[in-house]
Amino acid sequence: MSVVTRKLVMKELYVNRWMIGSAGVGAALAAAVAPLGKTAFNVGALTWLTVVIAYGAMLAIHGVMNERKEQSLQFVLSLPISIGDYVRAKLLGLFLCFLVLWTIAVTAAIAMVLIAPDVPDGLLPFTLALSLYMLTNFAVLLCGALYARSEGLVTAVIVITNMAISIFMFTVGAMPEIQDHLHSPTPVWNRTIFNVFIVELIVLVIALALPLATAARRRDFL
């Protein structure tokens, strides 16, 4: 990785530092509120999801779509880097930005499940599955944003990926092998939950590798 590429990666972290910090505080506070009662749990869980989802959407909008709209991409590509270097820097930079917030949010959620006496530890496997799905979902969103050439297409990708989170929760959460253990006093790790993890990891790798394999080779990237 060239010096310019590394600086572009660090630029993403620097530009988004305040958004990372504010979203991290919001996700941590949402997890802290969740154990205070049934209503608080619903509000806290919904707020936690909203923070992570909205943060991912904002990264895609500001990091990819606005850069095209404001024509700053033309300036970036005038630097001594190739389109492949730009795609690599943008993909890695924005993914790291999301990974920082994701790590804070997931750590807070895991701590809430394990420490709060009124929250069953049986929620831990599903919490991890949902968390990994949200990381994978952002990778798919970022992949789509790098391919899309119009604001409408990026918006469509954001809407579809956001809807997919609800579908995941209702589908995976309703699987008997997972649903039956959500209220267990201890986490239950079975083949179903591990299969979910495996599928998520496969999709995550594909979503991150695809732009590097194809989008980076496009000559009409602008």
- Residue 222 counted as domain residue: no
| Contact (CB, 8 A) for 144 and 154 | yes
Question: Would you say residue 52 lies in a domain?
Answer: yes
Between CA 65 and CA 83 the distance in angstroms is 16
Give the CA-trace dihedral at 188, 192, 195, 196, to 10 degrees.
Answer: -80
CA distance 151 to 103: 29
For 60-77, how does the pLDDT look when each residue is reduced to its tens digit (9 = 90+)? 888 777 666 655 555 555
How many domains, in total, are found in the chain?
Answer: 1
User: Is 153 a member of any domain?
Assistant: yes
* Cβ–Cβ < 8 Å for 119, 38: no
| 117: in domain | yes
Q: Which domain holds residue 199?
A: 3-217
Alpha-carbon torsion angle 29, 60, 146, 160, nearest 10: 80
Q: What type of residue is 194? A: F
In a domain, 200, yes or no: yes
Q: Torsion angle of alpha carbons 205, 89, 129, 32, nearest 10°?
A: 170
What is the sign, positive or negative, of the torsion defined by CA atoms of 109, 112, 115, 121? Answer: negative
pLDDT at 222: 46
pLDDT at 219: 55
Residue 137 belongs to a domain: yes
pLDDT tens digits along 137-194: 999 999 888 887 777 787 888 889 889 999 999 999 899 999 999 999 899 999 999 9
**Averaged pLDDT of the chain:** 86
Digit-coded pLDDT (tens) for 25-45 = 999 999 999 888 888 899 999
Residue 115 is assigned to a structural domain of this protein: yes
- Confirm whether 25 is domain-assigned: yes
